[in-house]
A and B are shown apart, each in its own frame.
Chain A
Amino acid sequence: MSENIKKIQLNDLHVALGGKMVPFAGFNMPVRYSSDTEEHHTVRQGVGVFDVSHMGEFKVTGPKALSLIQKVTSNDASKLVIGQAQYSCFPNETGGIVDDLIVYKFGEEEYMLVVNASNIEKDWNWINKHNDMGATLENISESISLFAIQGPKAIEAVQSLTSVNLSDIKFYHFAVGDFAGVQDVIISGTGYTGAGGFEVYVKNEDAEKVWNAVFEAGKPYDIKPIGLGARDTLRLEMGYCLYGNDINDETSPIEAGLGWITKFTKDFINSENLKKQKENGVNKKLVGFILQEKGIPRGHYPIVNLDGEPIGDVTSGTMTPSMGVGIGMGYVKSEYATPGTEIAITVRNKNLLAKVEKFPLYKK
Protein backbone atom coordinates (compact mmCIF):
# COMPACT_ATOMS: atom_id res chain seq x y z
CA MET A 1 0.00 0.00 0.00
CA SER A 2 2.80 2.42 0.89
CA GLU A 3 4.24 2.33 -2.62
CA ASN A 4 1.13 3.84 -4.18
CA ILE A 5 -0.04 6.09 -1.41
CA LYS A 6 -2.29 8.86 -2.70
CA LYS A 7 -2.03 12.55 -2.09
CA ILE A 8 -4.95 14.86 -1.50
CA GLN A 9 -5.12 18.05 -3.56
CA LEU A 10 -3.65 20.34 -0.88
CA ASN A 11 -0.96 17.92 0.34
CA ASP A 12 1.87 20.42 -0.16
CA LEU A 13 -0.04 23.19 1.55
CA HIS A 14 -0.50 21.03 4.66
CA VAL A 15 3.22 20.25 4.71
CA ALA A 16 3.98 23.98 4.45
CA LEU A 17 1.60 24.61 7.37
CA GLY A 18 3.68 22.25 9.49
CA GLY A 19 1.29 19.32 9.22
CA LYS A 20 2.76 15.97 10.16
CA MET A 21 1.67 13.71 7.33
CA VAL A 22 0.96 10.05 8.00
CA PRO A 23 -0.47 7.31 5.83
CA PHE A 24 -4.15 6.84 6.61
CA ALA A 25 -6.64 4.85 4.53
CA GLY A 26 -4.26 4.90 1.57
CA PHE A 27 -3.69 8.65 1.65
CA ASN A 28 -1.05 10.88 3.16
CA MET A 29 -3.04 12.86 5.70
CA PRO A 30 -2.20 15.55 8.25
CA VAL A 31 -2.42 13.93 11.71
CA ARG A 32 -1.56 17.18 13.53
CA TYR A 33 -0.15 20.64 12.91
CA SER A 34 0.80 21.69 16.44
CA SER A 35 -0.72 19.59 19.21
CA ASP A 36 -3.60 17.12 19.25
CA THR A 37 -4.92 18.56 22.49
CA GLU A 38 -4.75 22.20 21.42
CA GLU A 39 -6.39 21.36 18.12
CA HIS A 40 -9.12 19.50 19.98
CA HIS A 41 -9.84 22.53 22.18
CA THR A 42 -9.79 24.84 19.15
CA VAL A 43 -12.69 22.89 17.65
CA ARG A 44 -14.64 22.54 20.90
CA GLN A 45 -14.30 26.22 21.78
CA GLY A 46 -13.56 28.15 18.57
CA VAL A 47 -13.26 27.07 14.97
CA GLY A 48 -10.94 24.72 13.08
CA VAL A 49 -10.76 23.20 9.62
CA PHE A 50 -10.09 19.57 8.69
CA ASP A 51 -9.09 18.63 5.18
CA VAL A 52 -10.94 15.36 4.75
CA SER A 53 -10.59 15.19 0.99
CA HIS A 54 -9.69 11.52 1.23
CA MET A 55 -13.39 10.73 1.72
CA GLY A 56 -15.16 9.12 -1.24
CA GLU A 57 -18.13 10.50 -3.16
CA PHE A 58 -20.41 8.58 -5.51
CA LYS A 59 -23.17 10.17 -7.58
CA VAL A 60 -26.28 8.04 -7.97
CA THR A 61 -28.67 9.34 -10.60
CA GLY A 62 -31.50 8.37 -12.88
CA PRO A 63 -34.98 6.95 -12.40
CA LYS A 64 -33.62 3.96 -10.45
CA ALA A 65 -31.38 5.97 -8.12
CA LEU A 66 -33.63 5.75 -5.09
CA SER A 67 -34.42 2.08 -5.55
CA LEU A 68 -30.68 1.22 -5.58
CA ILE A 69 -30.07 3.32 -2.47
CA GLN A 70 -33.00 1.73 -0.71
CA LYS A 71 -31.66 -1.71 -1.50
CA VAL A 72 -28.08 -1.16 -0.34
CA THR A 73 -28.54 1.15 2.65
CA SER A 74 -30.19 0.51 6.01
CA ASN A 75 -31.82 3.90 6.56
CA ASP A 76 -34.97 4.92 4.69
CA ALA A 77 -33.84 7.33 1.97
CA SER A 78 -37.43 7.77 0.76
CA LYS A 79 -37.92 10.01 3.78
CA LEU A 80 -35.35 12.51 2.52
CA VAL A 81 -36.42 15.83 1.06
CA ILE A 82 -34.28 17.67 -1.46
CA GLY A 83 -31.54 19.46 0.47
CA GLN A 84 -31.43 16.88 3.23
CA ALA A 85 -28.75 14.37 4.18
CA GLN A 86 -28.98 11.11 6.11
CA TYR A 87 -26.54 8.96 8.05
CA SER A 88 -26.80 5.35 6.94
CA CYS A 89 -24.86 2.14 6.43
CA PHE A 90 -24.41 -0.59 3.83
CA PRO A 91 -25.29 -3.85 5.56
CA ASN A 92 -23.65 -6.95 4.06
CA GLU A 93 -25.35 -10.29 3.51
CA THR A 94 -23.78 -11.97 6.52
CA GLY A 95 -24.79 -9.64 9.33
CA GLY A 96 -21.96 -7.09 9.19
CA ILE A 97 -21.45 -3.64 7.74
CA VAL A 98 -19.69 -2.88 4.45
CA ASP A 99 -19.34 0.79 5.40
CA ASP A 100 -21.15 3.70 6.99
CA LEU A 101 -22.01 6.69 4.84
CA ILE A 102 -24.03 9.85 4.33
CA VAL A 103 -26.74 10.01 1.65
CA TYR A 104 -27.43 13.46 0.14
CA LYS A 105 -30.59 14.16 -1.86
CA PHE A 106 -30.12 16.76 -4.61
CA GLY A 107 -33.20 15.89 -6.66
CA GLU A 108 -35.79 13.16 -7.12
CA GLU A 109 -33.32 11.34 -9.36
CA GLU A 110 -30.07 12.71 -8.03
CA TYR A 111 -28.22 11.58 -4.91
CA MET A 112 -24.67 11.54 -3.60
CA LEU A 113 -23.18 8.95 -1.25
CA VAL A 114 -20.21 9.96 0.90
CA VAL A 115 -18.16 7.00 2.07
CA ASN A 116 -14.99 6.28 4.04
CA ALA A 117 -11.69 6.67 2.21
CA SER A 118 -10.50 3.23 3.27
CA ASN A 119 -13.55 1.63 1.68
CA ILE A 120 -13.95 3.52 -1.61
CA GLU A 121 -13.06 0.57 -3.80
CA LYS A 122 -14.94 -1.98 -1.69
CA ASP A 123 -18.08 0.20 -1.59
CA TRP A 124 -17.90 0.98 -5.29
CA ASN A 125 -17.73 -2.73 -6.14
CA TRP A 126 -20.49 -3.49 -3.65
CA ILE A 127 -23.05 -1.02 -5.00
CA ASN A 128 -22.23 -1.87 -8.60
CA LYS A 129 -22.73 -5.55 -7.83
CA HIS A 130 -26.19 -4.79 -6.45
CA ASN A 131 -27.20 -2.34 -9.14
CA ASP A 132 -29.37 -4.78 -11.08
CA MET A 133 -32.03 -2.11 -11.46
CA GLY A 134 -29.76 0.10 -13.57
CA ALA A 135 -29.14 3.31 -11.64
CA THR A 136 -26.39 5.51 -13.06
CA LEU A 137 -23.29 5.48 -10.88
CA GLU A 138 -20.31 7.76 -11.00
CA ASN A 139 -17.31 7.71 -8.67
CA ILE A 140 -16.23 11.35 -8.31
CA SER A 141 -13.98 10.78 -5.27
CA GLU A 142 -10.80 11.85 -7.01
CA SER A 143 -12.14 15.20 -8.22
CA ILE A 144 -13.68 16.43 -4.96
CA SER A 145 -12.07 18.10 -1.97
CA LEU A 146 -13.89 18.23 1.36
CA PHE A 147 -13.24 20.65 4.19
CA ALA A 148 -14.94 20.32 7.56
CA ILE A 149 -15.21 23.74 9.19
CA GLN A 150 -16.10 22.83 12.74
CA GLY A 151 -16.67 24.56 16.06
CA PRO A 152 -19.09 26.96 17.74
CA LYS A 153 -17.61 29.92 15.85
CA ALA A 154 -17.68 28.24 12.42
CA ILE A 155 -20.69 30.07 11.03
CA GLU A 156 -19.58 33.48 12.22
CA ALA A 157 -16.06 32.94 10.91
CA VAL A 158 -16.97 32.28 7.29
CA GLN A 159 -20.44 33.79 6.80
CA SER A 160 -18.84 36.64 4.84
CA LEU A 161 -17.75 34.17 2.13
CA THR A 162 -21.24 33.22 0.97
CA SER A 163 -24.65 34.64 0.17
CA VAL A 164 -26.21 31.52 1.72
CA ASN A 165 -27.39 32.23 5.25
CA LEU A 166 -25.35 29.61 7.07
CA SER A 167 -27.45 29.64 10.21
CA ASP A 168 -30.41 28.53 8.07
CA ILE A 169 -28.67 25.26 7.23
CA LYS A 170 -30.08 22.82 9.74
CA PHE A 171 -28.24 19.77 11.05
CA TYR A 172 -28.05 17.13 8.29
CA HIS A 173 -29.32 19.56 5.66
CA PHE A 174 -27.34 21.31 2.96
CA ALA A 175 -27.38 24.11 0.42
CA VAL A 176 -25.67 24.42 -2.95
CA GLY A 177 -24.42 27.95 -3.49
CA ASP A 178 -21.54 30.35 -3.90
CA PHE A 179 -18.69 30.11 -1.43
CA ALA A 180 -15.45 32.08 -1.56
CA GLY A 181 -16.24 33.20 -5.09
CA VAL A 182 -16.77 29.62 -6.30
CA GLN A 183 -20.16 28.53 -7.62
CA ASP A 184 -22.02 25.30 -6.79
CA VAL A 185 -20.28 24.53 -3.54
CA ILE A 186 -22.14 22.01 -1.39
CA ILE A 187 -22.44 23.50 2.11
CA SER A 188 -23.55 20.76 4.46
CA GLY A 189 -24.66 20.91 8.09
CA THR A 190 -22.67 17.82 8.98
CA GLY A 191 -19.41 16.97 10.71
CA TYR A 192 -17.81 14.39 12.92
CA THR A 193 -17.07 16.44 16.01
CA GLY A 194 -20.32 17.36 17.76
CA ALA A 195 -18.96 20.91 17.94
CA GLY A 196 -21.26 22.45 15.33
CA GLY A 197 -20.27 23.85 11.96
CA PHE A 198 -20.48 22.46 8.46
CA GLU A 199 -18.62 20.78 5.64
CA VAL A 200 -17.97 22.14 2.15
CA TYR A 201 -17.51 20.00 -0.95
CA VAL A 202 -15.55 21.74 -3.72
CA LYS A 203 -13.90 20.69 -6.95
CA ASN A 204 -10.18 20.02 -6.61
CA GLU A 205 -9.30 22.95 -8.87
CA ASP A 206 -11.07 25.32 -6.44
CA ALA A 207 -9.71 23.73 -3.28
CA GLU A 208 -6.78 26.03 -2.67
CA LYS A 209 -8.81 29.18 -3.33
CA VAL A 210 -11.53 28.07 -0.91
CA TRP A 211 -9.08 26.93 1.78
CA ASN A 212 -7.21 30.24 1.65
CA ALA A 213 -10.41 32.28 1.72
CA VAL A 214 -11.64 30.34 4.77
CA PHE A 215 -8.41 31.06 6.64
CA GLU A 216 -8.43 34.71 5.63
CA ALA A 217 -12.06 35.19 6.73
CA GLY A 218 -11.48 33.18 9.89
CA LYS A 219 -8.39 35.05 10.99
CA PRO A 220 -10.22 37.29 13.51
CA TYR A 221 -11.69 34.09 15.01
CA ASP A 222 -8.28 32.44 15.31
CA ILE A 223 -9.22 29.70 12.89
CA LYS A 224 -6.70 26.83 12.74
CA PRO A 225 -6.03 23.74 10.63
CA ILE A 226 -6.87 20.56 12.56
CA GLY A 227 -5.42 17.10 12.05
CA LEU A 228 -6.89 13.63 12.19
CA GLY A 229 -5.57 13.13 15.74
CA ALA A 230 -8.02 15.67 17.14
CA ARG A 231 -10.71 14.40 14.79
CA ASP A 232 -10.49 11.05 16.54
CA THR A 233 -10.68 12.42 20.10
CA LEU A 234 -13.58 14.71 19.14
CA ARG A 235 -15.62 11.93 17.55
CA LEU A 236 -14.89 9.56 20.41
CA GLU A 237 -16.20 12.05 22.97
CA MET A 238 -19.44 12.06 20.99
CA GLY A 239 -19.54 8.28 20.52
CA TYR A 240 -19.52 8.43 16.73
CA CYS A 241 -18.46 5.11 15.22
CA LEU A 242 -15.26 4.83 13.23
CA TYR A 243 -15.38 2.20 10.52
CA GLY A 244 -12.62 -0.36 11.01
CA ASN A 245 -12.58 0.25 14.78
CA ASP A 246 -16.12 0.21 16.13
CA ILE A 247 -17.95 -1.25 13.17
CA ASN A 248 -16.74 -3.61 10.47
CA ASP A 249 -17.71 -6.49 8.18
CA GLU A 250 -18.70 -8.58 11.19
CA THR A 251 -20.54 -6.20 13.51
CA SER A 252 -24.24 -5.75 12.92
CA PRO A 253 -25.84 -2.31 12.96
CA ILE A 254 -28.12 -3.51 15.78
CA GLU A 255 -25.14 -4.54 17.91
CA ALA A 256 -23.44 -1.25 17.07
CA GLY A 257 -26.31 0.84 18.40
CA LEU A 258 -27.22 1.89 14.87
CA GLY A 259 -30.80 0.69 15.15
CA TRP A 260 -31.84 4.30 14.63
CA ILE A 261 -30.49 4.18 11.06
CA THR A 262 -31.82 0.67 10.40
CA LYS A 263 -35.39 1.10 9.19
CA PHE A 264 -37.66 -1.81 8.50
CA THR A 265 -40.11 0.37 6.59
CA LYS A 266 -38.53 -1.12 3.44
CA ASP A 267 -36.52 -4.17 2.35
CA PHE A 268 -32.77 -3.94 2.02
CA ILE A 269 -29.81 -6.32 1.97
CA ASN A 270 -30.04 -8.64 4.98
CA SER A 271 -33.01 -6.72 6.39
CA GLU A 272 -34.85 -9.87 7.45
CA ASN A 273 -31.97 -11.04 9.58
CA LEU A 274 -31.44 -7.63 11.12
CA LYS A 275 -35.15 -7.36 11.86
CA LYS A 276 -34.93 -10.63 13.77
CA GLN A 277 -31.97 -9.29 15.70
CA LYS A 278 -33.90 -6.20 16.60
CA GLU A 279 -36.91 -8.23 17.76
CA ASN A 280 -35.02 -10.98 19.56
CA GLY A 281 -32.19 -8.91 20.93
CA VAL A 282 -28.47 -9.33 20.36
CA ASN A 283 -25.80 -10.95 22.51
CA LYS A 284 -23.38 -8.05 22.48
CA LYS A 285 -23.73 -4.31 22.25
CA LEU A 286 -21.46 -1.39 21.56
CA VAL A 287 -21.27 0.87 24.60
CA GLY A 288 -19.38 3.94 25.68
CA PHE A 289 -17.56 3.99 28.99
CA ILE A 290 -15.61 6.36 31.19
CA LEU A 291 -12.69 5.15 33.26
CA GLN A 292 -13.05 5.73 36.99
CA GLU A 293 -9.31 5.32 37.58
CA LYS A 294 -6.20 6.78 35.99
CA GLY A 295 -5.36 5.08 32.73
CA ILE A 296 -6.16 5.03 29.04
CA PRO A 297 -8.21 2.36 27.29
CA ARG A 298 -7.10 1.42 23.78
CA GLY A 299 -8.50 -0.68 20.94
CA HIS A 300 -8.40 -4.47 21.58
CA TYR A 301 -7.91 -4.19 25.36
CA PRO A 302 -10.13 -6.77 27.10
CA ILE A 303 -13.27 -5.69 28.96
CA VAL A 304 -14.04 -7.77 32.05
CA ASN A 305 -16.74 -7.79 34.71
CA LEU A 306 -15.98 -7.03 38.36
CA ASP A 307 -15.12 -10.71 38.89
CA GLY A 308 -12.49 -10.42 36.18
CA GLU A 309 -14.36 -12.57 33.67
CA PRO A 310 -14.08 -11.52 30.01
CA ILE A 311 -17.22 -9.78 28.69
CA GLY A 312 -15.92 -7.99 25.60
CA ASP A 313 -13.28 -5.85 23.92
CA VAL A 314 -12.46 -2.18 23.55
CA THR A 315 -12.80 -0.93 19.97
CA SER A 316 -11.64 2.71 20.47
CA GLY A 317 -10.15 4.53 23.41
CA THR A 318 -8.25 7.64 24.33
CA MET A 319 -7.58 10.23 26.98
CA THR A 320 -10.25 12.83 26.38
CA PRO A 321 -8.81 16.34 26.18
CA SER A 322 -12.15 17.88 27.23
CA MET A 323 -12.52 15.87 30.42
CA GLY A 324 -8.98 14.66 31.15
CA VAL A 325 -10.02 11.05 31.74
CA GLY A 326 -9.81 7.81 29.83
CA ILE A 327 -12.87 7.11 27.65
CA GLY A 328 -13.68 4.48 25.12
CA MET A 329 -16.14 2.38 23.20
CA GLY A 330 -16.36 -1.37 23.00
CA TYR A 331 -18.62 -4.38 22.66
CA VAL A 332 -19.85 -6.03 25.85
CA LYS A 333 -22.28 -8.86 26.54
CA SER A 334 -25.71 -7.27 26.46
CA GLU A 335 -26.37 -7.76 30.18
CA TYR A 336 -23.53 -5.28 30.86
CA ALA A 337 -24.71 -2.64 28.38
CA THR A 338 -26.99 -0.63 30.65
CA PRO A 339 -25.67 2.85 31.43
CA GLY A 340 -24.33 2.96 34.97
CA THR A 341 -23.06 -0.63 34.92
CA GLU A 342 -19.60 -1.02 36.40
CA ILE A 343 -17.12 -2.87 34.23
CA ALA A 344 -13.33 -3.00 34.09
CA ILE A 345 -10.82 -2.52 31.33
CA THR A 346 -7.66 -4.61 31.37
CA VAL A 347 -4.79 -2.18 30.86
CA ARG A 348 -1.38 -3.89 30.98
CA ASN A 349 -2.60 -6.71 33.25
CA LYS A 350 -4.47 -4.42 35.61
CA ASN A 351 -8.23 -4.20 35.68
CA LEU A 352 -9.25 -0.55 35.87
CA LEU A 353 -12.77 0.33 36.95
CA ALA A 354 -14.98 1.93 34.29
CA LYS A 355 -18.63 2.86 34.05
CA VAL A 356 -20.90 2.35 31.06
CA GLU A 357 -22.22 5.75 29.98
CA LYS A 358 -24.75 7.06 27.49
CA PHE A 359 -23.43 8.89 24.43
CA PRO A 360 -22.22 11.53 24.11
CA LEU A 361 -19.51 10.82 26.67
CA TYR A 362 -18.70 14.52 26.68
CA LYS A 363 -21.65 16.58 27.77
CA LYS A 364 -21.46 20.30 27.18
Chain B
Amino acid sequence: MNFPKELKYTKDHEWVKIENDIAVIGITEFAQRELGDIVYVEVETVGETIAAGEVFGTVEAVKTVSDLFMPLEGEIIEFNEELESSPELVNDSPYESGWMIKVKFSGEVPSDLLSFEEYSELVGG
Protein backbone atom coordinates (compact mmCIF):
# COMPACT_ATOMS: atom_id res chain seq x y z
CA MET B 1 0.00 0.00 0.00
CA ASN B 2 1.10 3.52 -0.70
CA PHE B 3 1.95 5.81 2.25
CA PRO B 4 3.95 8.79 0.98
CA LYS B 5 7.08 9.49 3.02
CA GLU B 6 6.57 13.23 3.19
CA LEU B 7 3.21 12.96 4.96
CA LYS B 8 2.32 12.59 8.62
CA TYR B 9 -0.39 10.20 9.78
CA THR B 10 -2.82 9.58 12.63
CA LYS B 11 -4.07 6.42 14.28
CA ASP B 12 -7.49 7.34 12.88
CA HIS B 13 -6.09 6.86 9.35
CA GLU B 14 -5.85 10.49 8.32
CA TRP B 15 -2.85 11.95 6.57
CA VAL B 16 -1.49 15.49 7.03
CA LYS B 17 0.65 17.44 4.64
CA ILE B 18 2.31 20.41 6.28
CA GLU B 19 3.09 23.42 4.10
CA ASN B 20 4.30 26.29 6.32
CA ASP B 21 1.26 27.17 8.47
CA ILE B 22 -1.23 25.28 6.32
CA ALA B 23 -2.06 21.61 6.82
CA VAL B 24 -3.82 19.66 4.08
CA ILE B 25 -5.75 16.69 5.45
CA GLY B 26 -7.28 13.58 3.94
CA ILE B 27 -7.69 9.87 4.64
CA THR B 28 -5.15 7.19 3.80
CA GLU B 29 -5.03 4.52 1.14
CA PHE B 30 -5.64 1.99 3.92
CA ALA B 31 -8.72 3.87 5.12
CA GLN B 32 -10.32 4.18 1.70
CA ARG B 33 -9.70 0.49 0.99
CA GLU B 34 -11.23 -0.54 4.28
CA LEU B 35 -14.26 1.68 3.75
CA GLY B 36 -14.91 0.72 0.14
CA ASP B 37 -16.70 3.07 -2.23
CA ILE B 38 -16.95 6.52 -0.70
CA VAL B 39 -20.36 7.96 -1.54
CA TYR B 40 -20.52 11.09 0.59
CA VAL B 41 -18.13 13.45 2.33
CA GLU B 42 -19.73 16.04 4.60
CA VAL B 43 -17.72 18.91 6.04
CA GLU B 44 -19.73 21.80 7.44
CA THR B 45 -17.07 23.25 9.69
CA VAL B 46 -15.31 25.62 7.31
CA GLY B 47 -14.46 28.78 9.24
CA GLU B 48 -14.43 27.01 12.58
CA THR B 49 -11.43 26.43 14.78
CA ILE B 50 -11.41 22.87 16.02
CA ALA B 51 -9.20 21.14 18.57
CA ALA B 52 -7.03 18.14 17.77
CA GLY B 53 -8.98 14.90 18.11
CA GLU B 54 -12.37 16.56 17.58
CA VAL B 55 -14.71 15.70 14.72
CA PHE B 56 -14.57 17.97 11.67
CA GLY B 57 -16.76 16.01 9.29
CA THR B 58 -18.11 12.67 8.16
CA VAL B 59 -17.20 10.24 5.42
CA GLU B 60 -19.79 7.74 4.26
CA ALA B 61 -19.13 4.57 2.32
CA VAL B 62 -21.86 2.34 0.92
CA LYS B 63 -22.15 0.46 4.21
CA THR B 64 -20.60 2.69 6.83
CA VAL B 65 -20.52 6.16 8.36
CA SER B 66 -17.23 7.33 9.91
CA ASP B 67 -16.27 10.49 11.72
CA LEU B 68 -13.30 12.51 10.52
CA PHE B 69 -10.98 13.74 13.27
CA MET B 70 -8.72 16.78 13.39
CA PRO B 71 -5.09 15.66 13.47
CA LEU B 72 -4.09 19.06 14.88
CA GLU B 73 -5.79 22.18 16.16
CA GLY B 74 -6.53 24.91 13.69
CA GLU B 75 -9.04 26.85 11.63
CA ILE B 76 -10.59 25.02 8.70
CA ILE B 77 -10.13 27.37 5.78
CA GLU B 78 -11.18 25.20 2.87
CA PHE B 79 -13.15 22.08 2.03
CA ASN B 80 -12.42 20.26 -1.21
CA GLU B 81 -15.71 21.02 -2.94
CA GLU B 82 -14.91 18.61 -5.77
CA LEU B 83 -15.86 15.90 -3.28
CA GLU B 84 -19.46 17.13 -3.18
CA SER B 85 -20.09 15.88 -6.68
CA SER B 86 -17.26 13.32 -6.89
CA PRO B 87 -16.71 11.64 -3.51
CA GLU B 88 -15.08 8.72 -5.37
CA LEU B 89 -11.94 10.91 -5.70
CA VAL B 90 -11.16 9.78 -2.15
CA ASN B 91 -10.92 6.21 -3.46
CA ASP B 92 -9.21 7.05 -6.73
CA SER B 93 -6.66 9.51 -5.41
CA PRO B 94 -6.61 9.66 -1.60
CA TYR B 95 -3.45 11.80 -1.38
CA GLU B 96 -3.99 14.13 -4.32
CA SER B 97 -7.40 15.09 -5.72
CA GLY B 98 -9.14 13.31 -2.82
CA TRP B 99 -7.82 15.70 -0.16
CA MET B 100 -10.53 16.86 2.25
CA ILE B 101 -9.68 20.05 4.12
CA LYS B 102 -7.05 22.74 4.52
CA VAL B 103 -6.36 23.96 8.03
CA LYS B 104 -4.55 27.06 9.16
CA PHE B 105 -2.71 26.21 12.31
CA SER B 106 -0.69 28.22 14.75
CA GLY B 107 1.58 26.64 17.23
CA GLU B 108 3.50 23.46 16.98
CA VAL B 109 2.80 20.41 14.88
CA PRO B 110 1.68 17.82 17.46
CA SER B 111 4.44 15.36 18.29
CA ASP B 112 2.06 12.39 18.32
CA LEU B 113 1.56 12.44 14.55
CA LEU B 114 3.00 9.30 13.01
CA SER B 115 5.74 9.04 10.42
CA PHE B 116 5.07 6.87 7.38
CA GLU B 117 7.14 4.06 8.97
CA GLU B 118 5.10 4.17 12.17
CA TYR B 119 1.85 4.29 10.26
CA SER B 120 2.82 1.44 7.94
CA GLU B 121 3.63 -0.63 10.98
CA LEU B 122 0.28 0.29 12.58
CA VAL B 123 -1.73 -0.98 9.61
CA GLY B 124 0.48 -3.99 9.06
CA GLY B 125 2.60 -2.82 6.17
Contact = CB atoms under 8 A, between A and B. Distances in A.
Interface of A: 20, 31-32, 35-37, 229, 232-233, 294-296, 298, 318-319, 321, 348
B69 to A, nearest CB: 15
A130 B92 CA distance: 54
A97 B87 CA distance: 39
Contact of B62 (A20, A229, A294, A348): A229
Nearest to A38: B37
Contacts of B58: 348
B65 interface: yes
A296 B61 CA distance: 10
Given A296-B60, A348-B58, A35 B65 contact: no
12 contacts: A31-B36, A35-B37, A35-B91, A36-B37, A36-B63, A229-B63, A232-B62, A233-B62, A294-B40, A318-B63, A319-B60, A348-B58
B36 A295 contact: no
Contacts of B62: 36-37, 229, 232-233, 318-319, 321
A37 B40 contact: no
A233 to B, nearest CB: 6
B39 interface: yes
B90 to A, nearest CB: 13
Dominant secondary structure of chain A at its interface with chain B: mixed
A296 B39 CA distance: 9
A360 to B, nearest CB: 19
A298 B36 contact: no
A233 B37 CA distance: 12
B20 to A, nearest CB: 33
B36 A35 contact: yes
Contacts of B61: 36
Contacts of B91: 35
A298 B65 contact: yes
A36 B36 contact: yes
Contacts of A229: 36, 62-63
B40 A319 contact: yes
B56 to A, nearest CB: 13
Interface in B25-45: 36-37, 39-40, 42
Contacts of A321: 62
Contact of B39 (A32, A232, A319, A348): A319
B37 A296 contact: no
B60 A32 contact: no
Contacts of B65: 296, 298
A144 B42 CA distance: 44
Contacts of A20: 36
A35 B36 CA distance: 6
Contact of A32 (B36, B42, B84): B36
A36 B62 CA distance: 7
